Amino acid sequence: MNIPKHIAIIMDGNGRWAKKRLLPRIAGHKKGVDTVKTIVKYCGKIGIETLTLFAFSSENKNRSDEEVTLLFKLF
């Protein structure tokens, strides 16, 4: 199998994932963090040298102070 040296992931849709399940948005963000942990471990296991995560955009800072604070606590 040909393993790339660098992969990038744009994290998007965690809030929508939670809303679809009638959960608070932060539940979706927590689920996203759990998924990232799994991905990071797997990338290390298969030899990915660099992993880039795009997890917080300039638009995200316009969310409620509460949500932004919770996001940074998760990071």
Q: How would you class 29 by CB atoms within 10 Å of its CB: exposed for 0-12, middle for 13-18, buried for 19 or more?
A: buried
What pTM, to 2 d.p., does this model score?
A: 0.78
Tell me whether residue 60 is one of the annotated catalytic residues. Answer: yes
Cβ atoms of 24 and 33 closer than 8 Å: no
Question: For residue 49, what pLDDT is reported?
Answer: 96
Question: For residue 43, what pLDDT is reported?
Answer: 95
Question: For residue 67, what pLDDT is reported?
Answer: 87
Domain boundaries defined on the chain:
6-74
Q: Single out the catalytic residue among 2, 14, 34, 60.
A: 60
Question: For residue 72, what pLDDT is reported?
Answer: 86
Q: Single out the catalytic residue among 12, 14, 62, 65.
A: 12
Per-residue pLDDT tens for 28-61?
999 999 999 999 999 999 999 999 999 888 888 8
